Amino acid sequence: MKRIPVLHPFIVAVFPGLAVLSYSIPEISVYELLLPSAIALTLASLMLLSTWLVLRNIHKAALIVSIFLALVYSTAHVFTVTGLLGMDSPWLGWVLLFLIWVLLYPYLLYLIARTAKVLRYSTIILNVATVVALLISAVRIGMYLPQRIDSGVSLPESHADLQLDASKYEAAHQIPPDIYYIILDRYANSRTLDEAYDLDNSEFLSQLAAEGFYVANESNANYVRTSESLASSLNMEYIDYMDEESSDLLPLNEKVKDNALQRLLKSTGYKFIQIGSWSGALRKNENADVNINYCARTSLFTEYMLTSTMPCAVCAELGIVDDPNVRHWKRTRFEFEELAKIPTQYSETPTFTFAHFMISHPPYAFDADGSYLSPEEASKRGEIDGYRSGVIASNEIVLDLVRQLKSTSEVPPIIILQGDEGPYPETYLAADRSFRWEQATDVEIRQKFGILNAYYLPGVDSSPLYPSITPVNSFRLVFDLYFGTDLGLLPDGCYAYVDYSHPYEFLDITDKVKT
């Protein structure tokens, strides 16, 4: 009994990260667990050592540390839970934190320190309980990893033999045109906005047309989710090389990062600039010459683990640090400002800028006038109003950006504004991962697939554009018009995965989106 190993403080330290990873394993690499786990284990070890030096009883010290760590992770969500329960009083969360940290935990410390018992049995019980919890998450991850290894395919290097020729533009303007591929995540087309959100978007589309844009008002996304959609559009091809039984999204994320557009354009002298959102795969791209992102020094997984601790939650509530919603709002404003500076900052070389913005995407942090929308206010308004406000805010910001890019560019730039997918219907939001697209109605499919798609293609004959062009063909057309290629256009198809667990088992729903 004297040699009982003390395991539970270390397991409690790493368990939250492991639990999150086990739930999100299709989209997250196991390696992302290493840094937050190393930090958590180091802190747990230092706490255990210092507490043992005071009490000279390893079992008491371990119990104190485990309770502390469990409370640090769990009480971080006090404000979230009270909000979900409809308890809007801002003081309720603070009262609960006071009761837990000023009364309950000190009282437990007193009882543990004063007891004459050695507490070996508490160590045994907690060891067993935490090991069982750890094994449940570890087994879920372990069952998935062989699938990831088995489904790992050698992804094709899209259009590896393609050669771009920008000589005619270099002769006319010294440098080829800058290219801006701007993704407005879940920005729907006018039909969806009118039918599902009671929003007339005609004024914005007319303003784009007045700026010289061709608005493809019958355009649809090729795929139902960002990872599939961008892997397709950035590589100018459909996804037909993945195992239908796999649920591993990491290969798609790699196709998004190491895509044909950046490889081909960099080979002709373009500087590749990525402006990332908070989304994991789009946060940073190691292949970019320049990464622009507001406060993204860590991975999304590490940031989530840090912000889910009680000290970070309290600091955010006090305004000492920004909470995730405030960071999202500030990030978007900052990155639009940085995007507008590109023509003057990098005037010596042509640039290809890929930018991903999540204004009309939860969490809704933008009011219609572009001001900050708090989570509490967004929750009161509901999903429909939050989305509508995001679209309206996007319109003004995007128009201002377009005008700045056009006025400050030495050579008229190529600009593509595009939604990667439409908003999810209410039935999907209610069912979440159990939703099956084969059971979706035509209205729900149109809502999810109808997207904004607008092209500014100066100096060329843009007559090949047509109302129903889809993202997979966007840069096939640009390369043919500007860079002397002969890619031609693919049939405009729309594909939905069967369900969340089978992202590569696609249903052809092209006919349904056109009804």
Domain of residue 419, CATH code: 3.40.720
Is 156 contained in some domain? no
At 273, which helix (H) or strand (E)? strand 271-275
Structure-token match 């919890």, residue found: 133
Cβ-contact 21, 30 below 8 angstroms: yes
Amino acid at 197: Y
User: What is the number of domains present in the chain?
Assistant: 2
| Residue 399 included in any domain | yes
Structure token pair of residue 450: 């109808």
For residue 289, being part of any structural domain is answered with no
Range of the domain at 350: 174-250+307-513
> What is the chain's Cα-based Rg?
26
298 belongs to a structural domain: no
- Calculate the dihedral angle through the C-alpha atoms of 485, 490, 492, 494, rounding to the nearest 10 degrees: -110
418 and 360, same structural domain? yes
What whole-number distance in Å separates Cα of residue 298 and Cα of residue 438? 38
Does 320 map to a domain?
yes
Looking up tokens 């070890």, which residue turns up? 45
End-to-end CA distance of the chain: 72
Q: Is residue 276 part of a domain?
A: no
Each residue's pLDDT, cut to its tens digit, for the chain (515 residues) gives 457 889 999 999 999 888 888 877 777 778 888 888 898 999 999 999 999 999 999 999 999 999 999 999 888 777 767 665 666 666 777 888 888 889 999 999 999 998 988 788 899 999 999 999 999 988 888 887 776 655 555 677 888 888 888 777 666 667 889 999 999 999 999 999 999 999 999 999 999 999 999 999 999 999 999 999 999 999 999 998 777 778 888 888 889 999 999 999 999 999 999 998 877 778 889 999 999 988 766 666 677 777 777 787 777 767 776 777 888 899 999 999 999 999 999 988 999 999 999 999 998 999 999 999 988 788 888 899 999 999 999 999 999 999 999 999 999 999 999 999 999 998 888 887 788 898 899 999 999 999 999 999 998 888 999 999 999 999 999 999 999 899 999 999 999 998 888 888 899 999 988 76
Three-state SS for 171? helix
Give the length of the chain. Answer: 515
Q: How far is CA 391 from CA 34, 119, 421, 423, 429, in A?
A: 38, 58, 14, 11, 19
Domain limit, last residue, from 88, 120, 151: 151
Q: Does residue 72 belong to any structural domain of this protein? A: yes
Cβ atoms within 10 Å, residue 384: 14
**Cα distance between residue 151 and residue 170, in whole Å:** 44
Max Cα distance, the chain (Å): 88
Looking at the fold, whether 137 and 228 belong to one and the same domain comes out as no
Q: Which residues pair with 496 in a beta bridge?
A: 507
